Copies of this chain bind each other. A is one copy, B any other.
């Protein structure tokens, strides 16, 4: 899967897990809600510093935002 979609899917997963709206995350990061939405739709080739700021705002490890969770989930569901 394209890394931008992997990042977007993980961003949405951890944001909703934290019960945070796109708007709340945008405010916390000082960016526009539309930018959060575009990142979640896999349309942003973000830099690793931006990814780092997202991870800090969601209180997750940066690497977690690039994890291929579908594979790790398959292993769990077996």
A residues neighboring B (CB under 8 Å): 3-4, 6-7, 45-49, 51-52, 61-64, 66-68
**A3 near B68: Cβ-Cβ < 8 Å:** no
Interface centre among A7, A45, A48, by most chain B C-beta atoms within 10 angstroms, is A48
Of the candidates B4, B7, B51, the one whose C-beta lies within 8 Å of that of A3 is B51
* CB-defined contacts of A46 to chain B, threshold 8 Å: 47-48
CB nearest to A7 among chain B residues: B48
Of the candidates B7, B47, B64, B68, the one whose C-beta lies within 8 Å of that of A61 is B68
**B66 near A3: Cβ-Cβ < 8 Å:** no
A15 → chain B closest CB, angstroms: 17
